[in-house]
Amino acid sequence: MPNSEDTIEQLKACRSIAEPTARLACYDREVGEVIAATEDGSLQVVDKADVEETKRGLFGFSLPKIKLFGGEDGEMNELETTITKARREGRESWIFTTQEGSVWRIAETKMGWKPPKAGQTVVFKKAAMGSYFIRVNGQTGVKGRRIE
């Protein structure tokens, strides 16, 4: 079976056939290929909302540069979400979970920084070397990492 781009290109090529019967036969043949490919699992159709949900759930992990995630142009550099659980670990370390199910650790906090609580908004922004600036409930950002 040709790859998904070839399949779609062959389907698009049917538009250029002037004779109606031949054009319909082309569409029937190519749509049949698309249906067969989706049924055997070699072609998956995903809507934009599913892709965005997946990207949100994987935010903080290194993702492969594939078209499903938008390549480099579609890479998320910032995410705003909600904290669902938070707990202290050690003197200054905090572990919290977001509504997407991702688990993050803040290892060091700043003077006057207020700990995260369930229901608060959290904004993640990419920083250097796999870390993120994490701004909890509008406070000054602190560095942290995704751990799960």
Instruction: Please write down the HEC assignment for all residues of the chain.
Output: CCCHHHHHHHHHHHHHCCCHHHHHHHHHHHHHHHHHHHHHCCCCCCCHHHHHHHHHHHCCCCCCCCHHHCCCCCCCCEEEEEEEEEEEECCCEEEEEECCCCEEEECCCCCCCCCCCCCCEEEEEECCCCCEEEEECCCCCEEEEECC
Confidence of residue 129 (pLDDT cuts 50, 70, 90): confident
Give me the pLDDT at residue 120, please: 97
Q: What is the pLDDT of residue 125?
A: 93
pLDDT tens, position by position, 86-116: 999 988 789 999 999 999 999 888 888 899 9
Burial environment of residue 132 by CB neighbours within 10 A (0 to 12, 13 to 18, 19 or more): buried
Q: Residue 68 pLDDT more than 80?
A: no
pLDDT at position 1, please?
47
Q: How confident is the model at residue 62 (pLDDT cuts 50, 70, 90)?
A: low
